[in-house]
Amino acid sequence: MIKDYFKIATGGFIHRKKRTWLTLLGIIIGIASVVSLLSLGFGMYESLNEQFEMMGADKIIITPGGSLFGLGAGGAKILTEDDLSSIESVSGIYSATPWLYKSARLKFNREIKYGMILATTTNPDESMLKSFSNLEIIAGRDFKLRDHNKMIIGYRISTGKFFNHGVKVGDKIEVQDRKFEVIGITSEVGNPQDDSQIYIPINDAREIFNENEKIDMIFAQVRDENKVVSVSENVERALRRSRNVKEGQEDFSVITYDQIRGTFNIIFSALIAVIIGIAAISLIVGGIGITNTMYTSVLERTKEIGIMKALGARNRAILTIFVIEAGLLGLVGGVIGIILGVFLGLLVKTVASAGGISLIRASFPAWLIIGSLLFSILIGIISGVFPAKKAAKLNPADALRYE
């Protein structure tokens, strides 16, 4: 019996191919949007969480300006060497390392570019490249304690994607007309900005940019990651004392990596909600299309419905046939939408990888595929219920006389 229902239902839209494809379009667009955008979203989520895991939970970031990433915050309220000393004196702090960020004029082989300079300590026991930036030296070496006029370059600079020619260990690059020897090349991060950065000793940077005290960011590492929250609170108290500010009026920010991850998760959740909302609009439009098609199908097949009822078909059988037909429209639209969504997700990933952005991934968990398919079928069934009820309630005599 069910087999006959499916046979009648599939015949209903196979004979109206053009209208069927136009009806499916809304479902296809909606499901493709859900699958492609969510796959990229979850792929990036996994990628960034991997970065957080590798950085570790024992890190604290201190920035000026009262907000995270207040790099180069304007005004007189900046981080200084005195702040660094205050942080280093806090019990539980293993190390505290200053960072200075500057945009600089770079020259290599007569070619001039502008890029980002990151200046930090050269103490090999506090290698910030590895412990905080999660970078490995893939060629050359890391900084030594008394390195002067030396630099480590990002992966992209070494491959010729920054300057017209690749830069190798031993080459020299001018920073603000001062020559630096390349002693190391970092591993690839996955985005052009990070892979185009240049690292130099902070003492050299202070001379070049005439910044004797200013610090843009301080990375601190605690001895026991289980005490990172209490240590960060002690850091806040120490800085309030040294900077003579009251609680609630801080002109600096102290944040842990877990707090950064929490903020990221909130932003990610909001982004997912927006993506689902946008896709839902397409699915609603697709559902309206299915409803319209089913109503039209009922009108076109009124006489056929009358014949089935005259031969003994019950209302439930008629209702089932039209609901199955609507569900099949949702199923076909869902399958095509999922295939298109997977293709689009992989295409974006491939294009991003070709552009040097390996952080962009496409993740296709089973629940996303299965959930999208079931949702599209549900939309189809719901959209077909009212037309199916109309068909089931038709009077056989009236249906047979319908032309």
pLDDT in tens, 309-366: 666 667 677 777 777 777 888 888 889 999 999 999 999 888 887 766 767 788 888 8
Sign of the dihedral through C-alpha 153, 157, 163, 165 = positive
Contact 348, 362 (CB under 8 A): yes
**Which is higher by pLDDT, 381 or 10?**
381
> For residue 26, what pLDDT band results from cuts at 50, 70 and 90?
confident
Beta strand pairing call for 93-108 and 172-175 = antiparallel
Is residue 38 pLDDT above 80, yes or no?
A: yes
Does 160 fall in a domain? Answer: yes
- Structural domain contains residue 73: no
For residue 133, give every residue at least 6 positions away whose Cβ sits within 8 Å of its Cβ, in sequence order, or none: 186, 189, 194
Residue 300 has pLDDT above 70, yes or no: no
- Residue 13 pLDDT greater than 60, yes or no: no
Tell whether 276 and 381 lie within a shared domain. yes
* Domain closes at, from 250, 272, 292: 250
Output the pLDDT for position 394. Answer: 62
Residues 388 and 293 reside in one and the same domain? yes
105, β-bridge pairs? 114
Which is higher by pLDDT, 151 or 24? Answer: 151
Distance CA 106, CA 102 (A): 12
Alpha carbon separation from 112 to 63, 314, 333, 369 (Å, rounded): 31, 82, 53, 49
Q: Is 313 among the domain residues?
A: yes
Determine the 3-state secondary structure of 152 from DSSP: strand
Looking at 250, 278, 301, the residue that finishes a domain is 250
Q: What range does the domain containing 10 cover?
A: 2-52+262-401
- Position 74 scores a pLDDT of 47
The domain boundary, picked from 193, 228, 250, lies at: 250
Provide, for the chain, the percentages of residues in helix, strand and coil under a 3-state DSSP scheme, each rounded to the nearest 5. 55, 15, 25
Tell me if 94 is assigned to some domain: yes
What stretch of H or E contains 230? helix 228-243
Task: Please give the Cα distance from 127 to 220 (Å, whole number).
Answer: 12
How many separate helices (H) and strands (E) can be counted in the chain? 12, 10
The stretch 221-233 carries a mean pLDDT of 88
How far from chain centre, in Å, is Cα 314? Answer: 53
Mean pLDDT of the chain, nearest integer: 80
Is there a single domain that holds both residue 167 and residue 279?
no
H or E element, residue 253: strand 252-256
Q: Are residues 267 and 347 in the same domain?
A: yes
- 87 inside domain: yes
Does 280 share its domain with 171?
no
In-domain check, residue 57: no
- The predicted pLDDT at position 200 comes to 94
* Residues ≥6 apart with Cβ < 8 Å to 322: 9, 294, 297, 298, 384, 387, 388, 391, 392
> What is the model's pLDDT at position 117?
94
Highest mean pLDDT among 120-124, 176-180, 256-260: 176-180
pLDDT digits (tens, 9 = 90+) for 63-96: 887 555 544 444 447 898 899 999 999 999 988 8
Higher-confidence residue of 280 and 194: namely: 194
63 part of a folded domain: no
CA distance 118 to 245: 29
331 and 374 Cβ atoms separated by less than 8 Å: no
Helix (H, G, I), strand (E, B) or coil at 42: helix
Query: What's the domain count of the chain?
Result: 2
Highest mean pLDDT among 151-165, 215-229, 387-401: 151-165
Same domain, 271 and 241: no
Most confident of 172-176, 272-276, 393-397: 172-176
